[in-house]
Homo-oligomer: A and B are copies of this chain.
Amino acid sequence: MAYLEPVTDQWLIQTRRQIHAWPEPGWAEFVSAARVIEHLEKENFKVLCGREVINEKFIRGAKKSQIEEGLKFARERGVSEAILARLDGVTGVVGILETGRPGPKVGFRCELDCVPVTETDDPEHIPNKEGFASQHPGYMHACGHDGHQAVMMGLATWLNANRDQLCGTVKLIFQPAEEGVRGARPLAESGILDDLDYLYCGHLGCDIPGDEVVSAPEKFLCTTKVDFRFKGTASHAGMQPEVGRNALMAGSTASLALMALPRHGLGMTRVNVGYLRAGEGRNVIASTAEMQVEVRGETEAINTCMFNEAVTRAEGAAAMYGCTCEHEIMGEAIDFVPDLEVQKNIEEAAKTARYCTKVSPTMNFNGSDDATVLIKRVQKTGGQGGYLVVGSDLKAGHHQAKFDFEEKRLAEMFDIYRALVIKHTGA
């Protein structure tokens, strides 16, 4: 039986470039969310968004100022007030296509947000060459989420075109705030995934070479994202340096000690102090400092060990300088085991995809993706879940200023998703 093929490679590439040009940080993806909503509705999807798909009580790490700025930018860029009213300050979109025919409920998930990296100004960088580099200073789609969104928007078009030949239900999930692993939990807690029989999540790149697909990556690291806030006492650095309680010193000392958290005999660990701001003015003993930290561990026990030790070190550093230290958990991700059937489906689908010449059963992911939170939720409510990686030769690693994937991988990923849809809901 023949399907209609309305999605061209060129459309995927153009869509990805449009997304790339305006990257948005987590919880502030209003332009992206609006683009998705309009596209999904054009393709006759039922669209839920904002608080309909996000359980507000579980939102973490949402910065008021970023949300406000995101809204301002959205208005400047012509997003309609009607859509902003539907979102009501909360990003996240789920498109639902119900064929009306009995069949399984299948979900696909991608991410809306970007990373706070300034895109390179190297003229050889393709987004510069081709004129689609980030116009949002300090932010960049340096992780591939622009590609994932484009592929899923193409999938929406394909699904609508072939709606009459399909059965069951397909949900396209556009998750906010994956960076910082903040968005999955409140999405899962909305219950929107609870009726799914299958959930597929995927990623481009991940140090897998081009033409290779991995059907079941291992070693998704458990992670805790935590902010530390140090409070000391200001004083005049020239006249009374001894009176101050120096929070900048506490923060710097804690940074060095956190980056030196010991490795663990039982498995892989990670730690990063990604952001530190301390002090008020040059000639004032710094009275405040704040740090954004993440720890990871191959297992939950290892991650907990890293987290506890991090807190001990930060609090000790504060005590050294007569400061106080508070911490707030900003996000969490966990590990998971893919279902065998899902893995097989991915392998089968990958073999039919353009460009793919090698399908590997596994790899060490060595990173975190809160897709694991979603998959575990689906598994808990009786469904199955999996995660696939579409390899790509990269110009630079993820989160680097020169990160760029091969655009033909969009077609490859699209082919896999299309094959999975047909597998589950095809005639």
Task: Name A residues whose Cβ lies closer than 8 Å to a Cβ of B.
Answer: 115-118, 138, 143, 179-180, 206-207, 221, 223, 225, 233-244, 246, 248-249, 251-253, 255-257, 259-260, 262-265, 268-287, 292-294, 296, 305, 309, 312-313, 315-322, 330, 366-368, 397-401
**Residue contact A367 to B238, C-beta cutoff 8 Å:** yes
23 pairs, CB–CB < 8 Å, chain A vs chain B: A117-B234, A179-B281, A207-B265, A234-B399, A234-B401, A235-B397, A239-B367, A241-B270, A242-B263, A242-B309, A244-B262, A246-B262, A249-B255, A251-B252, A253-B257, A260-B260, A263-B271, A274-B282, A274-B283, A276-B276, A283-B399, A316-B320, A317-B320
Partner of A249, one of B259, B280, B293: B259
**Residue contact A294 to B273, C-beta cutoff 8 Å:** no
**Residue contact B264 to A241, C-beta cutoff 8 Å:** yes
**Residue contact A256 to B262, C-beta cutoff 8 Å:** no
**Residue contact B252 to A264, C-beta cutoff 8 Å:** no
**Residue contact B366 to A239, C-beta cutoff 8 Å:** yes
How far does the alpha carbon of A292 sit from the alpha carbon of B285 in the complex, in Å? 12
How far does the alpha carbon of A273 sit from the alpha carbon of B265 in the complex, in Å? 17
Number of copies: 4
B contact residues around A241 at 8 Å (CB): 262-265, 270, 272
How far does the alpha carbon of A284 sit from the alpha carbon of B320 in the complex, in Å? 25
How far does the alpha carbon of A243 sit from the alpha carbon of B402 in the complex, in Å? 13
B contact residues around A284 at 8 Å (CB): 115-117, 272, 274, 399
How far does the alpha carbon of A368 sit from the alpha carbon of B283 in the complex, in Å? 10
**Residue contact B259 to A367, C-beta cutoff 8 Å:** no
B contact residues around A315 at 8 Å (CB): 319-320
- The list of the 6 closest CB pairs from A to B, nearest first, reads A316-B320, A237-B272, A238-B367, A259-B260, A252-B252, A316-B319
